[in-house]
Amino acid sequence: MERTLLLIKPDGVQRGLVGPIIDKIERRGLRMIGMKMMDVSTGLAETHYAIHKGKPFYDSLIDYITSAPIVAIAWQGSKAVAVVRQVLGATDPTEAQPGTVRGDYGIDIGRNLTHGSDSVKNGMAEINLWFKADELIEWKRSGEEWIFEV
């Protein structure tokens, strides 16, 4: 089973979209294994977005993610990384398909509402960065045999 990190960025929280965003992923069938609301420190933001350091949007990205509270959610399930990326849609909301979070709710790339891990390796690393071990819950959702074939 894969694990992946979802962040509902400050705009998603401010605009009251926490529920609708969770709803899409929860109904799709992934299992939530950790969730918290938090203010993001500059240090955590810089570690999380280290790969983008030096890019023109880096400073505004750090300002954006640290500007107001976010909600972090760890998800588990078969193909969890790809499923969350699919539900979020393309990075630029004007390129995201209708029906995706960014395609339904976003306009500007710098206000694209969410983050989703982009690989299985990064999913594991990002969950370890954002959650302590005792903040993750081992459980099985009833009815998962009706979502996952194996």
Q: What whole-number distance in Å separates Cα of residue 110 and Cα of residue 37?
A: 21
Are 97 and 72 in contact by the 8 Å Cβ rule? The answer is no
Q: Does 144 bind ligand IDP (CB under 6 A)?
A: no
Of how many residues is the chain composed? 150
**Among 53, 97, 110, 148, which residue interacts with ligand IDP (rule: CB under 6 A)?**
110
| Helix axis angle, 80-88 to 18-28, nearest 10° | 140
Of residues 57 and 148, the one with the C-beta less far from Mg ion: 57
Q: Would you state the structure tokens that stand for residue 54, as one six-digit string?
A: 């030096």
Of residues 30 and 81, the one with the C-beta less far from ligand IDP: 81
Question: Which residue carries 């694990």 as its tokens?
Answer: 3
Q: What whole-number distance in Å separates Cα of residue 56 and Cα of residue 69?
A: 24
- Which of ligand IDP, Mg ion, none has residue 57 at its interface (CB below 5 to 8 Å by kind)? ligand IDP
Q: Catalytic pick from 9, 31, 48, 115?
A: 115
Q: For residue 115, indicate whether it is catalytic.
A: yes
**Among 112, 123, 126, 130, which residue interacts with ligand IDP (rule: CB under 6 A)?**
112
* Site residues (CB under 6 A) for ligand IDP, limited to 35-94: 52, 57, 61, 91
Q: What whole-number distance in Å separates Cα of residue 123 and Cα of residue 117?
A: 5
Of residues 107 and 147, the one with the C-beta less far from ligand IDP: 107
Q: Would you state the structure tokens that stand for residue 36, as one six-digit string?
A: 């918290």
**Among 10, 115, 126, 127, which residue interacts with ligand IDP (rule: CB under 6 A)?**
115
Q: What whole-number distance in Å separates Cα of residue 34 and Cα of residue 128?
A: 11
Question: Rule CB under 6 A: which residues touch ligand IDP?
Answer: 52, 57, 61, 91, 109-110, 112, 115, 118
Residues designated catalytic: 115
Question: Rule CB under 5 A: which residues touch Mg ion?
Answer: 118
